[in-house]
Amino acid sequence: MNLRRDVFQALADPTRRAILLLLASQAMTAGAIAANFNTARPTISRHLQILTECELLRQESIGREVHYHLEAGKMKEVADFIERFRAMWDERFDKLETVMKAYGTGRKAT
């Protein structure tokens, strides 16, 4: 797996995550994407550039328009990486729940 730090920096931004959610169902032009945000179009273009550089999106030229598509393979790579931590966090949350329940009843957690 060849994940770069840039991928996670890109995903850290809420606007970029919202763009990915928009593109999960269909390809869209930059203008169509920008219409969903109260942000200047150049700002959305910069977000699209970052997502494309991280290989989370790909561009397809159709005539004079550029359509943006979600790169499912790269998204799966990221999801697979994050999935490794799910069991660890599930276990920690289960322990926290046990402690909180014990705290609520006034007895010591085991």
My answer on whether 89 and 65 are in the same domain is no
Q: Alpha-carbon distance 54 to 20, whole Å?
A: 12
My answer on whether 61 and 11 are in the same domain is yes
| pTM assigned to the model | 0.75
Q: What is the CATH number of the domain that holds 59?
A: 1.10.10.10
CA 77-16-6 angle, to 5 degrees, is: 50
The three-class DSSP label of residue 19 is helix
Domain range enclosing 104:
84-109
| Tens of pLDDT, residue by residue, the chain (110 residues) | 555 558 999 999 999 999 999 999 999 999 999 999 999 999 999 999 999 999 999 999 999 999 999 999 999 999 998 888 887 888 888 888 888 888 887 666 55
Task: Please name every residue paired with 68 in a beta bridge, in sequence order, or none if there are none.
Answer: 28, 59
CB 29 within 8 Å of CB 68: yes
- Chain length of the chain: 110
